[in-house]
């Protein structure tokens, strides 16, 4: 599974009927990763397991590699999150020559029958001249539920950085399985951002500071998806107006966020959003994902993390 890079993290979750809880039955982490399991973040009456991914030093230095394998067993309820933005430091200019000097993160997740898996990290923040690539592959049973948030900021605004990194690439793949056999590739989505000598990346981002994608799919989020799709209304454009990607525009919870939603398969949706404000983007995502609290007993991006 994945590339030849060694695993830096492994997590296995199982639902234990005797305790009525989802437990981590296997855990492994090595530099630059560690896992934290804050039980206080789970509301009473829910059997979810919340695991935070942490990095030593608060970020990833140039050429760091992380590769995580997660298995969410049948009927489990798993939330994977972070406690702060994933910082990606600049490339090493004076170091020894290497074939690939990018910082890389890989995540491979298997979600078994009737399980729900929620991935809600803080955004990635690439510093000036950083090179970052991310690959996330999800294999989910047809009866499972999956929520995936993937987003990034333009950099350290306080230091005047605005889309100043060298390159950013993110790939997300979601496959549906039945009896262990893949029956459908639901999502194969790639984002690539690179500097250009003629037109700097910052000039191509329309004044936005945050951009991201949110995927929700599965029976347990069907009502949430239906509500979100109902809120959207296809935008009718005059001839002089710039078109937006196909889908429906969601009415913003704030005037500083633009978002579009499209149906995905039978019980899913994909939302793409952007904002010139990190705080407003957080507020928007928290509002959209608020109904997850009833499903998994977890409030996304709560202040007391």
Residues 191-225 have pLDDT tens digits of 999 998 889 999 999 999 999 999 999 999 999 99
Is 100 a residue whose pLDDT tops 80? no
Residue 219 within a domain: no
Backbone angles phi, psi at 238, to 5 degrees: -75, 165
Tell me the per-residue pLDDT of 266-297, one tens digit each, with 9 for 90 and over.
Answer: 999 999 999 999 999 999 999 999 999 999 99
Domain ranges, residue 157? 9-91+100-211
How many residues would you count in the chain? 305
Q: Is residue 299 one of the residues assigned to a domain?
A: no
Burial of residue 302 (CB within 10 Å: 0-12, 13-18, 19+) is: exposed
What integer is the mean pLDDT of 130-147?
A: 98
Least Cα distance to 163 among 171, 172, 151, 155 occurs for: 155
In a domain, 251, yes or no: no
Residue 246 within any structural domain of the chain: no
The pTM score is 0.90
In a domain, 172, yes or no: yes
Number of structural domains found in the chain: 1
Q: In this structure, what token pair is assigned to residue 225? A: 């998806």
Pick the closest to residue 300 from 120, 38, 51, 76 (CA basis).
Answer: 120
134 occurs within a structural domain = yes
């Amino acid at each position: 599974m994945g590339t030849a890079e060694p695993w830096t993290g492994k997590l296995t979750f199982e639902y234990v009927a005797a305790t009525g809880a989802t437990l981590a039955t296997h855990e492994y982490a090595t530099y630059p990763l560690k896992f934290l399991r804050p039980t206080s973040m789970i509301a009473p009456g829910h059997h979810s397991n919340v695991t935070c991914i942490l990095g030593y030093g608060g970020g990833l230095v140039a050429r760091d590699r992380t590769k995580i394998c997660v298995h969410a067993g049948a009927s489990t309820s798993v939330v994977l999150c972070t406690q702060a933005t994933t910082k990606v430091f600049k490339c090493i200019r004076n170091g020894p020559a290497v074939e690939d000097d990018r910082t890389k993160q890989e995540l491979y997740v298997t979600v078994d029958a009737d399980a729900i898996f929620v991935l809600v990290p803080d955004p990635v923040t690439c510093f000036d001249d950083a090179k970052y690539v991310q690959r996330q592959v999800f294999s989910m049973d047809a009866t499972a539920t999956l929520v995936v948030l993937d987003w990034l900021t333009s950099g350290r605004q306080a230091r005047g950085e605005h889309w100043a990194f060298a390159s950013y690439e993110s790939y997300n793949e979601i496959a549906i399985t039945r009896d262990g056999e893949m029956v459908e590739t639901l999502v194969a989505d790639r984002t690539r951002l690179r500097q250009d000598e003629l037109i700097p990346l910052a000039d191509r981002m329309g004044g936005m500071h945050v951009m991201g994608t949110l995927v929700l799919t599965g029976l347990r989020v069907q009502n949430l998806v239906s509500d979100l799709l109902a809120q959207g209304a296809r935008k009718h454009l005059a001839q002089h107006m710039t078109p937006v990607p196909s889908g429906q525009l969601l009415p913003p919870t704030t005037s500083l966020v633009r978002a579009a939603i499209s149906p995905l398969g039978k019980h899913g949706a994909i939302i793409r959003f952007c904002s010139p404000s990190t705080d407003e983007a957080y507020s928007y995502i928290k509002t959209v994902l608020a109904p997850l609290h009833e499903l998994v007993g977890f409030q996304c991006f709560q202040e007391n993390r």
